[in-house]
Amino acid sequence: MDVKWYGINALEFRCADGTDFMVDMYVSRNREKLNIPSEVDKYVSSTPKWVLMTHAHWDHLADMPQIIAKTGTLLYASATACNIMRAVEVPEENLREIHYGDHLEFPGNITVDVLESRHKGYSGEATKYDVPPTRESLVSAGNWRCGEVFAFLIHADGRCILNSGSANFLDEATEPVVCDEFFCGISRWEDGFPQMLERNVRFQTLIPTHHDEFTRPLSEFSLRGDLPRLQEAIPNLVAKEIPPLVWKSLPL
Ligand SMILES: [Zn+2]
């Protein structure tokens, strides 16, 4: 199983049988324009069978209308994210609404469990769209509401991969989630996150995401200090970084 990181929480996975799928695929990295077609054309060159979406914020979702138009892929996303896609006239046949607790099965023995999670700074139910917003409202980044927040537990090629897109958890589980690699969004993590991480996940390797300067273009990629801060807070943390835009084989 190979993986390529595109900055933020944008990930592409490629299985041994050639099956390609993505998570939170977003490369435009611009809070004003939201989607820059030339950036998507430059960086997104493969055709994913499907794309999983952890939540509906612009820096995860805003390139998907173009990626769907270009590749015909299927988007597995929350009701809120699907309503945003409906507002910008993404065809219904490309949308698959998913919910907490769903178990998805794909060809090639790939399964995805849709876990309930939380976004950093969780502010409750007010962040959802039960119906599509107006198209005009979506020119503003702030109207790409978070919506339901998922973590994905992916079984593929004999590996078990967990991904969460924001530095928070649904901190209620009695048993930690067990995985090989934990692709963990650590963007500007706040007090309490290291303890929550230790309570909620048992991993072999943490691979950080969303710790880059995400409003600069990929051509000017740079990291922020979120990982060194986390390593200071958890001295025995087994973390490995992967460089952007380079295929890596798992395990690292
Ligand atoms: Zn977010």
Q: How far is the CA of 122 from the centre of ligand 1 (A)?
A: 10
Q: How far is the CA of 17 from the centre of ligand 1 (A)?
A: 32
Tokens of 224: 């922020």
Taking only the tens place, the pLDDT of each residue in 19-67 is 999 999 999 999 999 999 999 999 999 999 999 999 999 999 999 999 9
The pTM assigned to this predicted structure is 0.97
| CA-based nearest residue to 162, from 176, 147, 144, 148 | 176
Q: Provide the β-strand partners of residue 239.
A: 206
- Helices 193-200 + 226-233 axis angle, to 10: 70
- Average pLDDT of 78-100? 98
Taking only the tens place, the pLDDT of each residue in 106-125 is 999 999 999 999 999 876 66
Q: How far is the CA of 149 from the centre of ligand 1 (A)?
A: 9
Q: How far is the CA of 92 from the centre of ligand 1 (A)?
A: 24
Taking only the tens place, the pLDDT of each residue in 142-164 is 999 999 999 999 999 999 999 99
| CA-based nearest residue to 45, from 61, 76, 62, 22 | 22
In DSSP notation, 30-58 reads -TTTS--HHHHHHH--S--SEEE-S---H
Q: How far is the CA of 144 from the centre of ligand 1 (A)?
A: 9
* pLDDT value of position 174: 82
Q: How distant is the alpha carbon of residue 181 from its chain centre?
A: 14
The residue assigned the tokens 């020119």 is 139
Q: How far is the CA of 30 from the centre of ligand 1 (A)?
A: 14
* pLDDT value of position 125: 66
The secondary element (H helix, E strand) that includes residue 84 is: helix 79-87
Taking only the tens place, the pLDDT of each residue in 169-221 is 998 888 899 999 999 999 999 999 999 999 999 999 999 999 999 999 999 99
Q: How far is the CA of 119 from the centre of ligand 1 (A)?
A: 7
Q: How far is the CA of 58 from the centre of ligand 1 (A)?
A: 8
Domains of the chain: 2-249 (3.60.15.10)
Residue 6 has pLDDT above 90, yes or no: yes
